Structure 1
Amino acid sequence: MATALPGGADGREPRPSGELLTIGQVLDLLRPDFDSITIPKIRFLEDKGLIKPERTAAGYRKFSTGDVDRLRYVLTMQRDHYLPLRVIGEHLDALDRGLEPPPIEPVVPTVPTVTLSSDGLPSPESFARRDNVRLSRKELIKIAGIDEDLLASLEQFGLVTSRSGTGHFDTDALVIAQTARELADFGLEPRHLRAFRAAADREVGLVEQVVAPLARGRDAAAGARAEDAMSQIAALSVRLHATLVKAGLRRR
C-alpha cells in the first residue's frame, strides 16, 4: 500500500479541500512545525519541481491542500531523515504513481544539539561544549544531506576539515555542512563563504589575544578562568556580529 502524504494530523482545523491558499497562509500553517520555513524556501522548492501551485492571472501563487501536504512531506524528510531534494523528489514521484517510495535507511549515529540561548544565538556553554562525535566521510554526507562535490568544495575553501590523523569529522563540521547546504538553496556557494572563514579567524585571533594573559597565570585555576573567559567572549562576539548584520539589513 502506498504511503500517504502527511496532512490533517497536526491538531489544526483542516481547511476545505477546494480552498486555495496564499503563500503567506501556507507559511502560517507550516511554521508551527517547521520554524525555519521561509517564503524563499517555499519558492525554491517550487523551482525544484517538488510542488506546483496554481497561478492567478496576476501571477500570484495559490496553494491547494495537496500542495501543503507535499510541502510537509518534503520538510519532514529533510528534517527527520536528512534526505536530499533529489531523493525526496523520487519519493514524491513514486507516491504520485501509487507506488511505495524507496525505504528510508536509518541514520546513525545521532548527534548532540548545539546549546542555544533564548534568542537563537550560541550560548557560552555551547562554546565550552566538548563531544566525542566522530563521523566518517560517508556519515557526514548522509546526515548533513549534502553530496561529495559540496563537501569537497567546503574542504577546498577551508570551511570544513577532518580531525588530524583520523580522517573523521566532528559536530562543528556537521553544522557547517548543514548550514552551507541551506545557504546553497539561496545560490550561495562555498567560494562565497570564504569571507565568513576569514572573519571567524580574525575573531578567534582577537579572543586568543585577550585570553592569553589569563592562561599564563601561575595558580591552578588559571586554565579554567581562561576557558571560561574564552567561552564568554566568543558568545558575545557572535551576538555582536549577528546584531550588526541585522541592524545593517534593517537600514537598507
Structure 2
Amino acid sequence: MPDAGYLTIGKVVKRLQGQYPDLSISKVRYLEDEGLLNPSRTPSGYRLYSQKDVHRLETILYLQKNRFMPLSVIKQQLDGGEGHVSLVQTPCPNVGEDDEEVLQKFHPIDRMPELLGVPVSFVRQLSEAGVIQLRESPHGRSLVDGKDFQLIRTCGELRHFGIGPKNLRQYVTAANRESAMFEQALVVFAKKGGGVEMERTEENRQQFGQALSEMLALTGQVRDTLIRRQISKTFSEMEE
C-alpha cells in the first residue's frame, strides 16, 4: 500500500494537539481499542492514518470536548451515518459543564453512562476510593452530586493512561492531609486582612476564594516540578 497521503500516529497527534492539547498517542490508541478508529497498517504493523481517518478523529474529539458525548453514542452516530456527523445539528445527550440547573441536582447513578459516558461500575469505584460521595435517595437509589460531574470526567480521562480509582486513593489521602495546611494559611491571610473573625460578606468570600486558588496553583507548580524531577531521574538511571 502506498504511504503517500497517510500519516503516522505521532504526526496525527502533533497535527491536532494545537486544538486538543490533551491529545496523546495513548488516547488515540484507546479510541482504536474502543472501535472508533480503524487505521490502515503497514506489513510491519505500523498504523497509517488517511485524511478520512484524521477527519473522523477530529469529529470524535470535537463531540467529546464540546458536546460531552459518551464514546458509545459517538460510535453509533459515526457508524450509522457512514462516518459523517453534523457538528451543528447533532443533539447532545450529555450535560454541559455550564448547565447550572443540572449541576446543582443529584442524579441516579444508572444515568451516568448517558450523562457522562462512564460505566456505573466506574462511578461506584470512585465512591469506594473516596474520590466522590454517593447519596442515597428515600427509595434506596444511589445518587451522584452534579457538582462532581467534571471530577468524574477527569477521572475517566485518566483511565486512558492506566490510572484508575484505586490509584486515586492517594490523592484523597493527600487532600485530607493538606487541607489543614491550607486552612491555617487562610487564617494567616485573614489576620493580615484585619482579624480572624471577619464579617461574612460576598467580598470576603471572593477574597478567600481567590487566595485559595492562588495557593493551589502555586503548590501545584511545586508538586509538578518535584514529580517531573523524580521521573526524569528514574528514567535517566534506567538508561544508564
Normalising by structure 1, report the TM-score. 0.69
Offset of 1:168 from its aligned partner? 6.1
Match of 2:106 among 128, 132, 136: 136
Classify 1:51/1:143 alpha carbon distance in 2 versus 1 (closer, same or farther; 3 Å). same
Structure 2 Cα separation of the partners of residues 213 and 164 of structure 1: 38
- 1:53·1:67 contact (CA, 8 Å) conserved in 2? yes
Offset of 1:132 from its aligned partner? 10
Match of 1:161 among 133, 156, 167: 133
2:81 aligns to what SS in structure 1? helix
Offset of 1:230 from its aligned partner? 3.8
- Greater percentage in helix: 2
Structure 2 Cα separation of the partners of residues 197 and 180 of structure 1: 13
Q: CA RMSD in A?
A: 3.7
Structure 2 Cα separation of the partners of residues 70 and 60 of structure 1: 19
Structure 2 Cα separation of the partners of residues 24 and 213 of structure 1: 49
Alignment partner, residue 87 of structure 1: 73
Match of 1:61 among 28, 34, 47: 47
Match of 1:71 among 44, 52, 57: 57
1:185 aligns to what SS in structure 2? helix
- 1:140·1:169 contact (CA, 8 Å) conserved in 2? no
More displaced 10-residue stretch of structure 1: 156-165 or 213-222 = 213-222
Alignment partner, residue 234 of structure 1: 216
Structure 2 Cα separation of the partners of residues 35 and 97 of structure 1: 24
Identity of aligned residues (%): 27
Offset of 1:250 from its aligned partner? 2.5
Alignment partner, residue 203 of structure 1: 178
1:137 aligns to what SS in structure 2? strand
**Counterpart AA for 2:157:** E
Alignment partner, residue 124 of structure 2: 152
Gapped regions of structure 1 (runs ≥ 5): 1-16, 114-130
Normalising by structure 2, report the TM-score. 0.72
Gapped regions of structure 2 (runs ≥ 5): 236-240
Offset of 1:177 from its aligned partner? 0.2
- 1:20·1:63 contact (CA, 8 Å) conserved in 2? yes
